[in-house]
């Protein structure tokens, strides 16, 4: 059965590592829905969070193939356990002053925030799981989305 998997990949912080990892996905026909990279708690190591779709067999192959890369230290299927996943989006909408009270109300309800205001536009920042951000984007559409940028998912398992 095809489903979404979120995997964390601990890698050496080396030039070309992202290319090795994304190249592996491309060459072997694995899907990348989102990929984020940043420093980890350990100097010299970065953590990638990759959201992919596939059945369990595909996930197993992805993990095994990743382990074959010399720069990959550890691969964890985060979605196998309860996890927290977050994404950030910035949404620039056209909003004349008259439309703003209603817009701000929506932003408040979603615990999003307004981070920039110009005479005719507003930038909304929203943090949450992918579904929440999708929903927020839907709600912003009627105002006219001028620009949208999303970070991709970062994630962590709950607890110790």
Partner 1 sequence: MDSEELRTRLLKPDVISGSEILLRSLLLEGVECVFGYPGGAVLYIYDAMHGNPDFKHLLTRHEQGAIHAADGYARSTGKVGVCIATSGPGATNLVTGIATAYMDSVPLVVITGNVATTFIGTDAFQEADITGITMPITKHSYLVRDVKDLSKTIREAFHIANTGRKGPVLIDIPKDVSSHLTEFQYPEEVNIRGYNPTVMPNKGQVNKLLQAIEEAERPVILAGGGVVYAGAHEELLEFAQKTRIPVTTTLLGLGGFPSGNELWMGMPGMHGTWTANTALQNCDLLIGIGARFDDRVTMKVSAFAPKAKIAHIDVDPAEIGKTVPTAIPCVGDVKMVLELANQKAKPAKSEAWIQQVNEWKAEHPLSYKDSEEELKPQWVVEMIHRQTNGDAFVTTDVGQHQMWAAQYYRFNHPRRWISSGGLGTMGFGFPSAIGVQVANPDATVVSINGDGGMQMCSQELAICAIHNIPVKIAVLNNQVLGMVRQWQEIIHGQRFSHIDLAGSPDFVKLAEAYGVKGLRASNKEEADAAWQEAMNTPGPVLVEFVVRRDENVYPMVQAGTSISEMIMGDAE
Give me the residues that bind partner 1 (CB under 8 A), please: 11-12, 15-16, 19-20, 23-24, 27, 57, 60-61, 64-65, 67-73
In angstroms, give the least distance from the CB of 27 to partner 1.
5
Residue whose CB is less far from partner 1, 68 or 158: 68
Residue whose CB is less far from partner 1, 69 or 83: 69
The residue length of the chain stands at 160
Residue whose CB is less far from partner 1, 11 or 122: 11
> Where are any strands of DSSP class E within 72-120?
72-77, 83-94, 113-117
In angstroms, give the least distance from the CB of 108 to partner 1.
46
Residue with token string 């940028």: 149
Concatenate the DSSP letters of all residues of 132-154 into one string. HHHHHHHHHGGG-EEEEEE---E
In angstroms, give the least distance from the CB of 47 to partner 1.
14
Q: Could you say which DSSP state residue 40 is in? A: -
Rounded Cα gap, residues 145 and 126, in angstroms: 14
């Amino acid at each position: 059965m095809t489903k979404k998997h979120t995997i964390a990949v601990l890698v050496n912080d080396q030039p070309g590592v992202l290319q090795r990892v994304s190249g592996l996905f491309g060459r072997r026909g694995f899907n990348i829905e989102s990929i984020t990279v940043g420093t980890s708690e350990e100097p010299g190591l970065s953590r990638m969070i990759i959201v992919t779709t596939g059945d369990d067999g595909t996930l197993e192959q992805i993990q095994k193939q990743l382990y074959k890369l010399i720069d990959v230290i550890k691969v964890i299927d985060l979605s196998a356990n309860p996890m927290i996943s977050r994404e950030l989006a910035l949404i620039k909408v056209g909003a004349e002053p008259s439309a703003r009270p209603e817009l701000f109300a929506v932003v408040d309800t979603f615990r999003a925030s307004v981070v920039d205001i110009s005479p005719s536009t507003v930038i909304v920042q929203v943090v949450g799981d992918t579904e929440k951000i999708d929903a927020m984007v839907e709600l912003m559409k009627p105002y006219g989305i001028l620009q949208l940028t999303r970070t991709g998912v970062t994630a962590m398992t709950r607890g110790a």
